[in-house]
Structure 1
Amino acid sequence: MAKRKTVQVEKEVPFHTFTVEQVAEHFSTNIHEGLSSQEAAERLKKYGSNELQGNGGVKWYKVLWRQLANVLVVILLIATILSFATKDFAEGAVILVIIIMNAAIGFWQEYNAEQTMEALRNMSSPTAKVIRDENRTTVPNNQVVPGDIMIFEDGDVIGADCRLVETFNLETDEALLTGESLPVQKNLDVIEKEDEPLGDRLNVVFSSTTVVKGRAKGIVIGTGMKTQIGQIATSLMNVDSSETTPLQKRLNKMAYFIFLAAIILVIIVFAVHKFKYSNEVAIYAISVAIAMIPEGLVAVVTLTMAFGVRRMAQVKAIVRRLSSLESLGAVTNICSDKTGTLTQSKMVAVRMWLPGDGYYRITGTGFDPDGEIYQQGEMNGASESNAQEQLVVNDEGSNHFLRTLQAASLCNMAELRKTTRPQSHGEWSAIGDPTEIALQVLAYKAGVPKPELLSQGFKLIAEFPFDSSVKRMSVLYQAPEQQDGTGGHFIFLKGATERVIGCCTRYRNGDNEILLSEESNEKGSMDRKAFETMITEKLDILADKGLRVLTLAYRRFEAAPGTDLVHDLVREEVEQDMTFLGLVGIYDPPRAESRPAVLQCYDAGIRVHMLTGDHPATAAAIAKEVAIIPSDVPTKGNPLIMTAGQFDSMSDEEVDKLIELPRVVARCSPNTKVKMIAALHRRNLFAAMTGDGVNDSPSLKTADVGIAMGQSGSDVAKQAADIVLTDDNFATIVHAVAEGRRIFANIQKFISHLLSTNVAEIVVLIVGLAIKDDDGQAVFPMSAVQILFLNMITSSPPAMGLGLEPASESNMHEPPRSAKQGLFSREVIMDTFVYGLAMGALCFSVFCVVLFGFEGGETGSSCNREYSEACEGVFRARATAYASLTLLLLAHAINCRSFRASSWSFKNLKTLRHNKMLWMSLVIGALVVIPCIYIPGLNRSVFKHTGISYEWGFVIAALVLFILFSDLYKFIKRRTMKPLTVRAASELEMERMRTFMSQHTQNDSVMETKP
């Protein structure tokens, strides 16, 4: 692996461990008065402006230089110069066109109008509200300095990292930094651990994150490159993105070898002529050099990549760099984010538990309320798969069930609506907090949506919004009068289980309300401790499924006469004496395609790791659902499941001693992901990293293949990545890997074809040195124009067709290529020389048979330059050799479609029709031989050959012999070489993980169990 630059990030001060007073003292600021304008100006000079620094935009000339600074291109330039020097303008012009075409295609594909740092800069808020000179004022965001007292409200983009000093119901969206799908509730509590993950630093807000709810005030602790997003920018600036891919390295090595071999062959040509220079010798030497150089290789590789880009776009993967496409085929490990990649990034209520009624299962995904609710009961230890279920139809559930759904519907500010625009096809959309949206969708499925309840007469009187200090929300509603005279007012409450239970004095069991007492022997009641134990057991069952659990409660409210229900209510008095209703389990469901995609990765010998900022229990549960780890293994003590704190605390040596790297790492920071990629590289593994947030961009850069999400992904992630998925679907990665493997296999096929052509030409030309004319000069068995025409016109189009071959059936059932295995595997090298020697021998044989067997062996004088009666035999033999090699090359293109299987069976020939480019190039290549041989002037003056007649019999004979030989050769390979395919490995991989975890499970827990 190439060396990567080490990212140097200055150690940050752990302000989250400071009290507010300590932070204020550190920055010499006043919480109430803020900084003075003079002090702010001085700090602006000291700390610099609050903006991200970059390396500048993309330079077009650098991109163009990368296209030209290629060893094979340099060799072609040398050949061009030599051709012009010897006045062979046709050859020089053709080769020059090849160079220009290749550079233009590569430049157009790789050039990017925007640069990663530009996207980072644009994410900052343009203005900020701060306290200066004891007054609240708005300043440009780039003028904010450390020590400023910043104010932010609902909807604001936070302009700098801040230690909170005052909050009111503050929630921020930090998904771009942490990957956490839910808004984070902030507070002022001091955190003791210095290395606390970003997602758990609840007393700090970060630059470029957004305020979802509430308002707050904070002391600026970091600006510009000193913010968390600035550290990511620093990482991106220091990552070496100039590394060449394995394909580039191998092509460069091949170019050096070809260059050396060409020089040796040129020396051989001059040595045979006793180093006496003449134009004849120089032209022959150039012809040999041209025969050695696969002129079409660079163009064919580039165009094959370009066609691959188009195919990738069809499967919704946009390739930003041509050179990285082939790297997909070598991927051994995929490090994937969870939120929005493996999951849908939409919170959904999937389970519910009500005392007396038992469990409920809710179907459906996203915002669509068309799902159904099934009552499962308590199941009595039975597995969920064989539990007896009963469909709950609309609002026909028990009174307990309906009251619970009323609480979910009314204690809720989210809105659900069906779009009416024609292009939306009636899709459902939602506005509000993700958890409230999930509850509202549940209410719709149960037939009690909020709009319908409001239309029935429910009227909102008062609301106590969610507060992070109490972790609950309550609402007071006036209920409609019923036929039995009931109605009045109700309080509905939802929140964290431990905070809601503390407000409850009874619980609902069916239609009965049972009092909770402190005494276990009180008649008609239940011991509170026993109740809490029961709830904890149910909570654990839901938590083990990776669900975030909300608790619902209610009570009938009767206010004292004369009470103002809007202004006189006290929250502590309202949220008491509640009746417990039930638990609702919510989670971000995995995509339907994720599990099959992960299993297909295992079949292809690729291991999947989940690195997410989410909670460990949630991450582990999703990992089991999508088959990253087996579903039947314990979570506690699992060595394949770690938190970022555990993984980051390990030294590189400790990580390298691990038998298996963790498959799940939760609460990840940007450095955690980079560290995982580095650990994989030290094991000589080829890593792909997927992600969508800004926090993913350093690892996207560091990984061998960076894959960003196009829909949910930030601009930064897209710019940092090599490939962007337009559908954000993990399954698309599998298609991309398959396409990468197909492309690499096809590159091997057409390289074998092109190099076999060169070997055949070299055999003919070098052996042909033995044939001398009357002047003692070597007779060209093939002319320079013939060679160039074969290389560019005859050989290159079929090679390009081979680049478009569909994937083989075993494509995704083979292990990834090892880092040491290059384009030139032992089999490819063997095929190149075996087929090349066979074609060269047959071609030279027909040349000799015609010249010496039928034309008397007369070689004439100056037959390499012009036609004469004495050169008739040479010209006819040369035409025969040219026609033979043309048809042999075309037949060899069919051979190269498969390394082992017979290419001439009816089944394989039938599939040829699916590759239009290949069969058209074969037909056209065969037809072009006719005008080249028979058009007067063109044949004798340009190609240095003449028309033939009986010689076609030798051409056909050579073709038949080659086909028979190639099928015999493949038959021997099938019998003697190891099969290419392997059997499906997904079940073997799952069993291997089970065995490993059973042998290495730790006694202590490696993760928390409750979200």
Structure 2
Amino acid sequence: MTSSHVVAIFQQPTDVVIAALNSDMSHGLTTVEAHRRHRQYGANELDAEPPIPAWRTFLAQFQNVLVIVLLIAAAISLVVWLYEREQALPYEAIVIVAIVLLNGILGFIQEARAARAVAALRALAAAEASVIRNGETVRIAATELVPGDILLIEEGATIPADGRVIQSIALHTLEASLTGESLPVSKDTDPLTTAASLGDRSNMLFSGTTASYGRGRMVVTATGMQTEMGKIAGLLRQTTSERTPLQRELDRTGKWLGIVVIGMAVIMIGTILLLEEVRDVKTIVAVLILGVALAVAAVPEGLPTIVTAVLALGVQRMARRKAIIRKLPAVETLGSASIIASDKTGTLTRNEMTVRTIVTASGRVEIVGIGYGPSGELRQTDDASSTEAMRSEVTATLSAANRANNAVVLERDGRWTILGDPTEGALIVAAQKAGLTEETLTARFPRVGEVPFSSERKLMSTVHTDSTHPERLLVFTKGAPDVLLNQCTAEWVEHAPRRLSEERRATLRTLNEQLAGEGLRIIGIASRVLPRDALDQAHALNDELEHDLVLLGFVGMIDPPRDEAKAAITRAKMAGIRSIMITGDHPKTAMAIAMELGIAGTTAAVTGAEVESLSEEALRTLVQECSVYARVNPEHKLRLVKALQQNGAVVAMTGDGVNDAPALKAADIGVAMGITGTDVSKEAADMILADDNFATIVAAVEEGRAIFVNIQKFLFFLLSSNIGEVLTMFGGVVLASVLGLSAGNDAIIVPLLATQILWINLVTDGTPALALGLEPANAAVMHQPPRPHGSSVIPRGMWIRILVVGVIMAVGTLLVLDAALPGGLIHGSQTMEYGRTMAFTTLMLFQMYNVFNARSYTQSAFSHPFQNPWLWGAVTMSLVLHMMVITVPVLQRAFSTVSLTARDWLTCLLVASIVLWVRELDKVGQRHRLRGTQGEHRGTTTNTETDHSG
């Protein structure tokens, strides 16, 4: 719709508006018509920022200063070659440019992959709307809304389009984002008689605003850029690129390492120029290329790209496990979570009320089976006085409970669901388990009237005819037991009513309290017989019917805990994570579920009122001990989060309502419910549970820890390998005379050429590092306490091992080079070209061994060696490419290499394996140390993937 249409709409009656849009309030649009309008009006979304062209993303890979300097040096090398023409082709310039291009291509691919992953996550977290299509209520993506759609609005929902209110049940909206009005705005259906500003259009709803109270319906009048919010879409399109603490730390590490390496490169260049007395331009250019190549190879400028790719791929894994991450920092924070504060209903429990017990005059019956499926059976307890009497009383109780009921139980795609109140649905399911089918009861007891439930009476009654006794009417009543007992004068015993004595009434009240103490929700069921003409009397269909009732029985029900929740809580406890229940439910119900799940500690449940009465200091003391909070409102949740954080905890908090948003924002990880959660809570959260399941939170913590550990793995690999390259080059230049590098005819004597260093950087860094980021999660990550929030990603112990591995690589490579050349520490007789090929191969193989070292901090490299096929693929590719470089003639000329014999390869393999055996010995010591440390705390757990402090 155009804006001119919108101006007139709020001045017209609802039926005129709906007719003008060719829609229908009851049936909505047809699917065919909705698709036609979608093609006409487009998707209901604001115009996005134009995507960055691929060519610009590709060119951005070459904006690094060192890469630009390298390309300039390659250009100078090309000019020198054109001038001297000593070789058939400018091999050095060609190789440098080719390697830089390949690096750029790999970076471009990684960025594109990360962008696709983030886009996929946005699609998973896309908003949905409830609309009427073809006469049925369906959930569709908000982007599919079209003008004319009839949209259902619930409290807490974000309005996804502009529309005219056609039904309002105490509907209020928050419009501050559009009009600046800070208070909720009441909405009605009455047309306005005069023109009005946005803030005064009381019968219109606007995209981007929020329903804060009540419910209603609207007919969509404008979508996408035609909405009022679309007119100021520039404000909504402002997005900021959020850098995680991890990425910021890696930036600092990269800059620090870059300064050190560049300093070493400058020293190396200066040493070569002074010692070799270089004078000609060609040699000076070669030395400069060498220094820049070393800096490019050593500085991990690709770290942010790899980190982003690994985070994005890991987040996609979380999404497959029903945890949708909205903000990348949440991935890091998950690894530090020390407390999960969860709601009860639907998260720790199934959100499927289930009848567990029925108590009648003759005793108690337990009902087996959970959920809304009718499978299950009734089991009589030992205290039942008579099986026949028990069966009669239970049948009467469940028949009445089924009839005084407005819910519907449906099976869809093999899954049983409830339309209506879950408590009423549970009563229907219980009747089905007792063999009382809906068809049979409906045929015998047709309904002729109803006295609806009210919060004042706490009762609901329905009136029925009885096909077996046409002369009478039956009143079936259910409600709060204490209230219902006051309206009962008799109790159904076997096949007839028996008058209630005061002693029996007191016994029943005690019984009600006992059942409630078991955490059950108790519903009382009663009935009454009336003459057939009772409804013909004036004012008969009201609460006057709820007198002189006959008590049939008490029904105890509970929302049973999820089976997987108990296992998840146990896993969380093993991981050093404390689980807390925060619910609005009754304290006794909360404690019963908490006891069953293993959450409850030594203290009883604390109510929200008690939380409110405590001082900040007292609350901080309380939250250290208490793990169950009941009758809590959202304001109390916020206080609890802050108290936990003040004690140093990293808190993951769940929420689903509008008022939960402050607590979700305040928590270190706000977790919104994907099924029952409001749009406001989802917007405030860092993570959305697609299945509203507590076990999913624990699974996300495991993935978050695994992602962080994998990042540490490839950091260890990259930094130790790069330091090995730097020390090889620097040591070779500084110790040239000791190692015999002064022998030969080269104008400059260095261990490896610039092209060889760049090639190692290309084939052994990026791909294996990314493969390490795809390592499967190790069960050991959930056997360790949470990582301290804000702790360094590269702690001191890890730096020490990085340096040790780098030194081993450099020493081994230089000794292989020395052994090939005349003079030096180890006498050899080969050419410089052969010696460099041996050193080139040894350094590459060092890094291949090192990538397997990096798979685990404590576990042997030989433990589950084939667990990560991506790693084997990356290593195989690196080996094949290296073999091509030293065997294919054209590549031999380009990289100044020669072919190696099998014995040469064996020598390189054996020397390079030193780094593997040294790390294996170190890991044995680490495992021994961890056994001792963990034995003091938790017994015999031996593995860790997160402790790099060593």
440-449 vs 568-577, greater mean Cα deviation: 568-577
CA contact (8 A) 2:173 2:212 kept: no
Give 1:843 deviation, angstroms: 0.4
Matches within 5 A, 1:867-946: 873-904=831-862, 908=863, 911-940=864-893, 942-946=894-898
Inter-CA distance 616–61: structure 2 relative to 1 (3 Å threshold): farther
CA contact (8 A) 1:813 1:982 kept: no
What CA deviation, in whole Å up to 9, does each residue of 1:717-762 have, x standing for no partner? 4444444333332222222222222222222222111111112111
Partner of 1:642: 607
CA contact (8 A) 2:654 2:673 kept: yes
Q: What letter is aligned with 2:800?
A: M
Inter-CA distance 463–396: structure 2 relative to 1 (3 Å threshold): same
Matches within 5 A, 1:980-999: none
Matches within 5 A, 1:808-823: 808-823=778-793
Find the residue that maps to 2:460 and give its secondary structure.
Answer: strand
| Partner Cα distance (1:654, 1:312) in 2 | 38
TM-score of the aligned structures, taking structure 2 as reference length: 0.74
Give 1:79 deviation, angstroms: 1.8
Partner of 1:227: none
CA contact (8 A) 1:76 1:95 kept: no
Partner of 2:159: 122
Residue of 774, 777, 783 corresponding to 1:804:
774
Count of residues in Structure 1 that have an aligned counterpart in Structure 2: 796
Is structure 2 residue 322 aligned with structure 1 residue 324?
A: no
What CA deviation, in whole Å up to 9, does each residue of 1:376-422 have, x standing for no partner? 255xxxxxxxxxx8998xx9943322222221122222233445xxx
Partner of 2:406: 413
Residue of 704, 707, 719 corresponding to 1:740:
704
Inter-CA distance 260–960: structure 2 relative to 1 (3 Å threshold): closer
| Partner Cα distance (2:185, 2:888) in 1 | 86
CA contact (8 A) 1:109 1:322 kept: no
Find the residue that maps to 2:498 and give its secondary structure.
Answer: strand
Inter-CA distance 358–323: structure 2 relative to 1 (3 Å threshold): same
Inter-CA distance 779–417: structure 2 relative to 1 (3 Å threshold): same
Partner of 1:679: 643
Find the residue that maps to 2:865 and give its secondary structure.
Answer: helix
| Partner Cα distance (1:673, 1:719) in 2 | 18
What CA deviation, in whole Å up to 9, does each residue of 1:615-647 have, x standing for no partner? 4443333222222214xx563xx5xx331x443
Find the residue that maps to 1:86 and give its secondary structure.
Answer: helix
Q: What letter is aligned with 2:730?
A: I
What CA deviation, in whole Å up to 9, does each residue of 1:75-104 have, x standing for no partner? 971222221222253454344335434443
Give 1:915 deviation, angstroms: 1.8
Q: What letter is aligned with 1:932?
A: V
Inter-CA distance 813–775: structure 2 relative to 1 (3 Å threshold): same
What CA deviation, in whole Å up to 9, does each residue of 1:815-850 have, x standing for no partner? 111125332134322321222211111001111111
CA contact (8 A) 1:600 1:986 kept: no
| Partner Cα distance (2:386, 2:427) in 1 | 19
TM-score of the aligned structures, taking structure 1 as reference length: 0.70
Matches within 5 A, 1:378-393: 378=383
Residue of 359, 362, 371 corresponding to 2:364:
359
Partner of 1:554: 527
Partner of 2:508: 535
| Partner Cα distance (1:936, 1:338) in 2 | 70
Inter-CA distance 753–417: structure 2 relative to 1 (3 Å threshold): closer
Give 1:429 deviation, angstroms: 3.5
Find the residue that maps to 1:832 and give its secondary structure.
Answer: helix
Inter-CA distance 578–137: structure 2 relative to 1 (3 Å threshold): closer
Give 1:603 deviation, angstroms: 0.8
CA contact (8 A) 1:546 1:619 kept: yes
Inter-CA distance 978–835: structure 2 relative to 1 (3 Å threshold): farther
Inter-CA distance 399–947: structure 2 relative to 1 (3 Å threshold): closer
Partner of 1:167: none
Partner of 2:580: 609
CA contact (8 A) 2:389 2:495 kept: no
694-703 vs 337-346, greater mean Cα deviation: 694-703
CA contact (8 A) 2:665 2:685 kept: yes
Is structure 2 residue 115 aligned with structure 1 residue 107?
A: yes
Residue of 520, 535, 551 corresponding to 1:580:
551
| Partner Cα distance (1:566, 1:857) in 2 | 120
Give 1:489 deviation, angstroms: 2.7
Find the residue that maps to 1:494 and give its secondary structure.
Answer: strand
CA contact (8 A) 1:693 1:713 kept: yes
| Partner Cα distance (2:595, 2:939) in 1 | 14
Find the residue that maps to 2:563 and give its secondary structure.
Answer: coil
Residue of 843, 846, 855 corresponding to 2:813:
843
Inter-CA distance 952–371: structure 2 relative to 1 (3 Å threshold): closer
CA contact (8 A) 2:358 2:394 kept: no
Partner of 1:506: 490
Inter-CA distance 563–798: structure 2 relative to 1 (3 Å threshold): closer
What CA deviation, in whole Å up to 9, does each residue of 1:623-674 have, x standing for no partner? 22222214xx563xx5xx331x443555544444446164233344444434
Partner of 2:67: 80
| Partner Cα distance (1:982, 1:926) in 2 | 42
Partner of 1:757: 721
| Partner Cα distance (1:302, 1:478) in 2 | 69
Partner of 2:266: 267
Inter-CA distance 493–902: structure 2 relative to 1 (3 Å threshold): closer
Matches within 5 A, 1:669-748: 669-748=633-712
| Partner Cα distance (1:209, 1:788) in 2 | 65
Residue of 911, 914, 923 corresponding to 1:958:
911
Is structure 2 residue 477 aligned with structure 1 residue 493?
A: yes
CA contact (8 A) 1:880 1:951 kept: yes
Find the residue that maps to 2:866 and give its secondary structure.
Answer: helix
CA contact (8 A) 1:129 1:138 kept: no
Partner of 1:24: none
| Partner Cα distance (2:112, 2:708) in 1 | 22
Q: What letter is aligned with 1:823?
A: V
Find the residue that maps to 2:417 and give its secondary structure.
Answer: strand
What CA deviation, in whole Å up to 9, does each residue of 1:340-386 have, x standing for no partner? 211222222222222x32222222222212221222255xxxxxxxx
Give 1:960 deviation, angstroms: 4.4
Matches within 5 A, 1:844-859: 844-853=814-823
| Partner Cα distance (1:544, 1:74) in 2 | 66
Structure 1 segments unaligned to the other structure (5+ residues): 1-36, 38-55, 153-159, 161-204, 213-236, 379-388, 517-525, 860-871, 989-1011
| Partner Cα distance (1:124, 1:541) in 2 | 51
What CA deviation, in whole Å up to 9, does each residue of 1:537-576 have, x standing for no partner? 21222222332221111222236xx755375525354222
Matches within 5 A, 1:245-394: 245-273=244-272, 278-354=284-360, 356-376=361-381, 378=383
Give 1:137 deviation, angstroms: 14
CA contact (8 A) 1:507 1:579 kept: yes
CA contact (8 A) 2:247 2:304 kept: no
Give 1:577 deviation, angstroms: 1.5
| Partner Cα distance (2:240, 2:647) in 1 | 21
116-125 vs 599-608, greater mean Cα deviation: 116-125
CA contact (8 A) 1:604 1:985 kept: no
Partner of 1:403: 396
What CA deviation, in whole Å up to 9, does each residue of 1:448-474 have, x standing for no partner? 23431232x333333222222222122
Partner of 2:751: 781
Find the residue that maps to 2:406 and give its secondary structure.
Answer: coil
540-549 vs 119-128, greater mean Cα deviation: 119-128
Give 1:296 deviation, angstroms: 4.6
| Partner Cα distance (2:68, 2:174) in 1 | 59
Partner of 2:215: 210
Is structure 2 residue 926 aligned with structure 1 residue 968?
A: no
Give the % identical residues. 30
Give 1:148 deviation, angstroms: 6.3
| Partner Cα distance (1:63, 1:565) in 2 | 76
Partner of 1:232: none
